[in-house]
């Protein structure tokens, strides 16, 4: 049977394509053996990203030496080091009010921060970042406490963490709160929020049900907190679960500046503890 020229040409092209594909497959296989992360494949299967090792501190610096409060500044009689952890205590007899332990050794805007936190007895806490110190207009001391000292009052974004003293407080852990500004809660737990200059924050996505995400919070136990900040994007992760995200497109926002880190105690009675505080700074 005589084969037409077009059919013969098609056969040649298909054969060439097959040989080319085999060559490309071989090249990809060779590439995967040498550098599998470039291709994103291994043995023809898409790679799953490896889980983060919370205990891996390569490229990080420690903000706490586990022995004393070197580099930190806070209200006397409230903060101490116990069993390798920073501890803050507020009681009815010695009411700390709402105060902060401020780290003055470094400022950062873009960073990864990892630490462990525990809140007992009641009240709440939080981790300040990209923050400043000072007393904003209208801020007053909690009744029955000492007058405010601007050294121990912080302004800026905070990764919230509360003891579930009531239904409302049980929703706070994991949310992004703007401390001592008019903004207040910006991104509730379970939310992805966008903020623009001169406009109210806007909900753009849901991470999960706020109440169900509360199952990741370990009451009265150690919790792993991670904060990732890059430009106008802030990501807060609690015990490996994404809790809240802010995309702040306002270059003049107090969330979009380089600043200090700090630890909070609020409410009475309350005992807060922090350990393994590690920072990887980008700028």
Summarised one tens digit per residue, pLDDT across range 37-78 is 555 666 667 778 888 899 999 999 999 999 999 999 999 999
pLDDT of residue 21: 42
- pTM recorded for the entire structure: 0.85
The token pair at 16 is: 């060439």
Q: Is pLDDT of 4 > 60? A: no
pLDDT of residue 138: 86
Q: Are 277 and 226 in contact (CB under 8 A)?
A: no
Q: Mapping DSSP to helix (H, G, I), strand (E, B) and coil, where does residue 5 land?
A: helix
CATH topology of domain 61-281: Jelly Rolls (2.60.120)
**8 vs 185, which has greater pLDDT?**
185
What residues pair up with 131 in beta bridges, in sequence order? Answer: 260
Q: Is pLDDT of 97 > 80? A: yes
Highest mean pLDDT among 15-19, 25-29, 225-229: 225-229
Please tell me the distance from the alpha carbon of residue 255 to that of residue 248, in angstroms, as a whole number. 7
**DSSP symbol at 19:** H
Q: pLDDT band at 151, cuts 50/70/90?
A: very high
All structural domains of the chain with their residue ranges: 5-46, 61-281
């Amino acid at each position: 049977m005589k084969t037409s020229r077009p059919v013969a040409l098609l056969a040649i092209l298909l054969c060439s394509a097959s040989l080319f594909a085999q060559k490309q497959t071989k090249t990809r296989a060779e590439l995967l053996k040498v550098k599998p992360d470039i291709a994103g494949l291994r043995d023809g299967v898409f790679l799953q990203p490896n889980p983060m090792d919370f205990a891996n501190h390569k490229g990080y610096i420690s903000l706490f030496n586990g022995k004393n409060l070197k580099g930190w500044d806070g209200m006397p009689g409230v903060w101490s080091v116990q069993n390798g952890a920073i501890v803050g205590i507020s009681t009815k007899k010695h009411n700390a009010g709402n105060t902060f332990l401020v780290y003055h050794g470094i400022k950062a805007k873009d960073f990864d921060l990892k630490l462990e936190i525990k809140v007992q007895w009641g009240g709440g806490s939080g981790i300040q970042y990209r923050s400043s110190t000072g007393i904003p207009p209208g801020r007053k001391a909690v009744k029955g406490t000492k007058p405010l000292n601007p050294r121990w009052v912080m302004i800026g974004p905070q990764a919230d963490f509360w003891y579930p003293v009531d239904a409302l407080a049980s929703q706070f852990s994991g949310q992004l709160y703007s401390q001592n500004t008019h903004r207040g809660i910006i991104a509730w737990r379970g939310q992805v929020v966008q903020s623009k200059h001169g406009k109210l924050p806007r909900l753009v996505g849901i991470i999960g049900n706020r109440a169900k995400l509360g199952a990741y919070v370990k009451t009265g136990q150690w919790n792993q907190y991670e904060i990732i900040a890059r430009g106008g994007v802030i990501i807060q992760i609690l015990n490996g679960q994404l809790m809240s995200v802010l995309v702040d497109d306002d270059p003049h926002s107090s969330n979009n500046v380089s600043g200090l880190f700090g630890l909070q105690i609020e409410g009475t009675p309350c005992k807060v503890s922090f350990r393994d505080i590690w920072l990887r700074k980008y700028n």
